[in-house]
């Protein structure tokens, strides 16, 4: 009886500690949210026009991050692979779309014919990047599907360097400025072009809706969800697991190609290591929103884009030199208090 009472008291103390820890975590989380809100309000009060110009720039960049993040989160959601080569696949998308737009079509601006050329170059980049992504899955990732998790991770890093070498040979080792006039005309505010934002959103929003429709409303989407839940069970139900996973890699590659074409249309420059920086930011966006969640990836991309732009361009910001520090400090803080991400669901490890 004494032993049982002692055990009960220890369990009660443990529960109290857990509750205190959860309460402290919530308080710290709300303090961080309050600090960010205070920072935003202070910037709005100091210079509203400067803040909103930075905010719109953040939405523009965040939509691009979201397109790349969608590719990360779709692959991870199916086979739990962090495909670190995805950012460099996006870089190849910029190279392909720029060469099609400038060298093949001979275009240099985004007028009526330029927008049609951009659409064509985007489609070609999407097809090429989808084929490359499916090829990497067929050559390497499929064979390592049942290997220890470190093996496909290292393989992804290896493909990342291979893609960078292709970028160096195709694009040169220095940043390359393409002869493309990114000014779409129309209204502007503090240097921000509204038509440029409309162009990015006109691609990002339909693609997000299309991905959501495929995953939730089609037979292929049901197969994807079944494979993500249990590959062996899906195979017993007659689902072609290899074809389903290849389809996911094709979708991820197509999203990377579309992001590459939009990057060229809005920035007119690229470099062989562009995918490393943007890939890390996009992966951060996927984790921030809840990796495996399509809407979470978009939300994470938009949040990171806005935070980065406000930090760089608003009145009270640390400036571009500290941009990456601000982004990853927020990510680390979120992981401490909400490791599943903003829209992710908490899961337990199966043993």
pLDDT for position 12: 56
Distance CA(303)–CA(282), nearest Å, equals 11
In degrees, rounded to 5, the angle at the alpha carbon of residue 75 between the alpha carbons of residues 70 and 79 is 155
Report if residue 42 sits inside a domain.
no
Distance CA(153)–CA(35), nearest Å, equals 36
Q: Cα 216 to chain center, whole Å?
A: 20
Report if residue 60 sits inside a domain.
yes
**Token code pair at residue 233:** 């069970």
Report if residue 157 sits inside a domain.
yes
Count the residues in the chain: 351
The residue whose two tokens read 């996927």 is 286
Report if residue 4 sits inside a domain.
no
With contact defined as beta carbons under 8 Å apart, do 130 and 248 qualify? no
- 39 closest CA partner among 57, 59, 55, 61: 55
Q: Which domain range does residue 292 map to?
A: 55-337
Instruction: Check residue 194 and give left, alpha or beta (phi > 0: left; psi -120 to 50: alpha).
Output: alpha
The residue whose two tokens read 């908490």 is 346
Report if residue 232 sits inside a domain.
yes
Distance CA(207)–CA(254), nearest Å, equals 10
With contact defined as beta carbons under 8 Å apart, do 87 and 68 qualify? yes
pTM beyond 0.75: the answer is yes
Distance CA(37)–CA(30), nearest Å, equals 10
| Residue 347: Cβ within 10 Å count | 8
Report if residue 111 sits inside a domain.
yes
- Residue-level pLDDT, tens digit, the chain, 351 residues: 444 445 555 545 545 554 545 666 566 667 766 777 788 888 888 888 888 888 888 999 999 999 999 988 888 888 888 888 999 999 999 999 999 999 999 988 887 788 899 999 999 999 999 999 999 999 999 988 888 888 988 999 999 999 999 999 998 889 999 999 887 777 777 667 788 888 899 999 999 899 889 988 899 989 998 998 888 888 988 899 999 999 999 999 999 999 999 999 999 999 999 998 898 888 888 888 887 788 888 888 998 998 888 888 888 888 888 888 888 887 787 777 777 777 766 655 444
Within the chain, residue ranges assigned H as helices are 2-46, 48-79, 86-98, 112-136, 150-171, 194-217, 219-229, 231-236, 241-267, 274-289, 294-313, 323-337
Q: Report how many domains make up the chain.
A: 1
In degrees, rounded to 5, the angle at the alpha carbon of residue 218 between the alpha carbons of residues 215 and 220 is 75
> Which backbone phi and psi does 204 adopt, to 5 degrees?
-65, -45
Report if residue 97 sits inside a domain.
yes
Instruction: Check residue 317 and give left, alpha or beta (phi > 0: left; psi -120 to 50: alpha).
Output: beta
With contact defined as beta carbons under 8 Å apart, do 96 and 178 qualify? no
With contact defined as beta carbons under 8 Å apart, do 279 and 70 qualify? no
pLDDT for position 5: 47
pLDDT for position 93: 95
CATH number at residue 104: 1.10.3470
Report if residue 36 sits inside a domain.
no
């Amino acid at each position: 009886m004494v032993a049982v009472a002692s055990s009960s008291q220890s369990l009660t103390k443990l529960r109290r500690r857990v509750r205190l820890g959860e309460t402290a975590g919530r308080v710290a989380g709300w303090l961080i949210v309050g600090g960010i809100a205070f920072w935003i309000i202070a910037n709005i009060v100091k210079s509203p026009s400067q803040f909103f110009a930075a905010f719109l720039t953040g939405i523009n960049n965040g939509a691009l991050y979201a397109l790349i993040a969608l590719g990360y989160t779709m692959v991870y959601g199916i086979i739990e692979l962090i495909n670190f080569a995805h950012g460099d696949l996006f870089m190849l998308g910029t190279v392909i779309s720029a060469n099609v737009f400038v060298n093949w079509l001979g275009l240099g601006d985004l007028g009526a014919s330029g927008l049609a050329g951009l659409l064509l170059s985007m489609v070609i980049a999407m097809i090429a990047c989808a084929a490359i992504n499916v090829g990497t899955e067929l050559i390497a990732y499929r064979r390592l599907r049942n290997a220890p998790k470190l093996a496909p991770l290292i393989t992804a890093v290896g493909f990342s360097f291979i893609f960078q070498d292709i970028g160096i040979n195709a694009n040169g080792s220095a940043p390359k400025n393409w002869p493309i006039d990114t000014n779409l005309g129309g209204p502007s505010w503090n240097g921000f072009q509204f038509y440029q934002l409309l162009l990015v959103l006109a691609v990002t929003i339909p693609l997000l809706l299309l991905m959501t429709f495929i995953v939730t409303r089609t037979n292929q989407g049901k197969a994807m969800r079944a494979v993500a839940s249990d590959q062996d069970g899906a195979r017993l139900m007659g689902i072609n697991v290899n074809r389903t996973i290849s389809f996911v890699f094709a979708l991820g590659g197509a999203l990377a190609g579309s992001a590459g074409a939009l990057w060229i249309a809005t920035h007119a420059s690229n470099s062989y290591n562009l995918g490393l920086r943007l890939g890390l930011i996009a992966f951060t966006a996927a984790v921030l929103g809840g990796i495996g969640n399509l809407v979470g990836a978009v939300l994470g991309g938009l949040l990171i884009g806005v935070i980065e732009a406000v930090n760089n361009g608003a009145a009270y910001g640390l400036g571009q030199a500290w941009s990456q520090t601000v982004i990853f400090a927020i990510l680390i803080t979120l992981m401490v208090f909400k490791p599943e991400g903003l829209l992710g669901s908490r899961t337990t490890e199966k043993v």
